[in-house]
Amino acid sequence: MAHYGDELTLRLSAITDTRLLDDDQALTTFMRDLVDRIGMTVIAGPLVATEQGPPEKAGKSAVVILAESHAAIHTYPHLREIFVDIFSCKPFREADVLAEFHRLVGDYYVRERTLTRRGEEWPRDLHAAQQHWAALSSVHD
């Protein structure tokens, strides 16, 4: 048994060029380009929403639902920051993710970074999954 997939979370700060962080069409295109570059399959979206409010809370959120899971970003142009969350059962390269953000905003500083192996010991085949769940349910009976 292996893990289900990887989840990459990032906080990008000190963004050089914030012009596109408040542009619905640019973020829609960016999300498509991002998931294409990391080899994922879009099943819904991208969807872009605007968060109103004071400058420190105003920005955009963009999400795409993938056959492999999801990718989401939250932009804060006035703070020159982006939060990123990519979760996938299919392996992907962090370097490709970072390169796409360089294309969108130029230079930035990776202030926070976490790569988490999700679903440790997740069964990959149906027979193993059935055995796993049967064993768990017998423990809880």
CA dist 14 and 101 (Å) reads: 13
Residue boundaries of the structural domains of the chain: 5-140
| Domain boundaries 5-140, CATH class | alpha beta
Exposed, middle or buried: residue 130 (CB in 10 Å: 0-12, 13-18, 19+)?
Answer: exposed
User: pTM here?
Assistant: 0.78
pLDDT score, position 17: 93
Asked whether the predicted pLDDT for residue 1 surpasses 50, the reply is no
- Model confidence pLDDT, tens digit, residues 39-88: 888 888 899 999 988 878 899 999 999 888 889 999 999 999 999 999 88
3 state SS for 116-127: EEECCCECCCHH
